[in-house]
């Protein structure tokens, strides 16, 4: 595997895990009734642990992989001089130090903190990890005040996207609670709260996404001779499909939950959103390593 491909894979695994942990944890801690939140969190125990392991593993290998891409391939990945230079003299290194610190804090929260603090602590650490991604990459391409604006906008974009797509997994679990008389009422409350918050999250994703496109590309991504702009357009199509599914869920399937197969249709539409979100994260991991113009 070439270093460039390894970097894309690391970005995909890290970003996907952070988005999931942030969105799922924030949704469960803020919008889901407490008893249902604990039940859902237990059901998601394995995916959550896998996500934490992925965050730790990708963080551990990221600096050698980055050094290999900056240098002349894998032989440079473990060069002490190049590793030190990447770590201490680049924005990539600064971002990694913050990422490693927050990942260590997340591990402490997950495995060494009192149970009552884990859900909120997990949401906080994952949210900060997402915001920390703006320190390097395209969000840092501008100078002066525009760099600050770009980073803030990118942070809003990442957090809003995570609040939307990261919450889909617990929503899918909560849908099963509609078949349980003990949890049915709380499940309906949680789903309606997600629907309301989802409107805000999707609006923020769209507005911040448009702003990011203009900040990075300088206009609409119409130059398809560039891989970055071509992949960005594919991402926009997938996001449009996700929004269409979300609208169908809210305004077609949810009002009909008491009728026939609407619950099955809602579950399948939610699974389709999750699949599309994986594709979107993969595309972002790819074109985030490319030159936009």
Give 222-278 pLDDT, tens digit per residue. Answer: 888 899 999 999 999 999 999 999 998 888 877 776 655 678 888 899 999 999 999
* Alpha-carbon distances, residue 83 vs 8, 75, 86, 171 (angstroms): 19, 12, 5, 42
CA end-to-end span of the chain, whole Å?
Answer: 27
Q: Is it the case that residue 33 has pLDDT exceeding 70?
A: yes
Residue 169, judged by CB atoms within 10 A of its CB (0-12, 13-18, 19+), counts as buried
Alpha helices in the chain (DSSP H): 3-30, 34-43, 45-70, 80-89, 91-112, 115-132, 144-165, 168-177, 184-217, 227-248, 262-287
- Those residues whose C-beta lies under 8 Å from the C-beta of residue 261, and which sit 6 or more positions away, are none
Torsion region of 285: left, alpha or beta (phi above 0 gives left; psi -120 to 50 gives alpha): alpha
Is the Cβ–Cβ distance between 163 and 277 less than 8 Å?
A: no
183 CA to centre of own chain: 28
Mean pLDDT of the region 37-49: 94
pTM for this entry: 0.94
Write the pLDDT tens digit of every residue in 78-128: 888 888 888 888 888 888 999 999 999 999 998 887 878 889 999 999 999
Higher-scoring residue by pLDDT: 24, 254: 24
* Alpha-carbon distances, residue 222 vs 1, 234, 274 (angstroms): 31, 12, 28
CA-CA-CA-CA torsion for 141, 147, 161, 98, nearest 10 degrees? Answer: 80
Is the Cβ–Cβ distance between 161 and 18 less than 8 Å?
A: no
Is the Cβ–Cβ distance between 7 and 66 less than 8 Å?
A: yes
**DSSP symbol at 258:** T
């Amino acid at each position: 595997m070439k270093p460039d491909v390894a970097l894309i894979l690391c970005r995909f695994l890290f970003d996907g895990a952070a988005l999931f942990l942030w969105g799922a944890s924030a949704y469960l801690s803020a919008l889901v009734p407490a008893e249902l939140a604990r039940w859902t969190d237990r059901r998601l125990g394995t995916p959550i642990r896998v996500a934490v392991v992925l965050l730790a593993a990708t963080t551990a290998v990221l600096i050698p992989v980055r050094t290999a891409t900056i240098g002349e391939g894998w032989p440079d990945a473990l060069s002490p001089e190049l590793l030190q230079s990447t770590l201490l003299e680049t924005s990539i290194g600064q971002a990694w130090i913050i990422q490693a610190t927050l990942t260590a804090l997340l591990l402490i929260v997950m495995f060494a903190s009192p149970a009552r603090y884990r859900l909120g602590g997990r949401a906080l650490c994952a949210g900060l990890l997402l915001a920390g991604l703006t320190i390097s990459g395209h969000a840092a391409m501008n100078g002066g005040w525009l760099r600050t604006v770009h980073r803030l906008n990118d942070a809003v974009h990442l957090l809003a996207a995570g609040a939307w797509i990261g919450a889909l997994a617990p929503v899918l679990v909560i849908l099963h609670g509609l078949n349980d008389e003990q949890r049915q009422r709380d499940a309906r409350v949680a789903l309606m709260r997600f629907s309301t918050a989802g409107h805000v999250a999707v609006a923020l994703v769209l507005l911040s996404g448009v702003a990011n496109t203009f900040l990075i590309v300088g206009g609409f991504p119409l130059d398809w001779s560039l891989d970055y702009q071509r992949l960005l357009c594919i991402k926009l199509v997938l996001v449009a499909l996700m929004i269409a599914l979300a609208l169908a869920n809210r305004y077609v399937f949810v009002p009909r939950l008491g009728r026939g197969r609407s619950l099955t249709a809602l579950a399948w539409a939610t699974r389709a959103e999750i699949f599309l979100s994986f594709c979107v994260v993969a595309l972002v991991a790819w074109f985030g390593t490319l030159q936009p113009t």
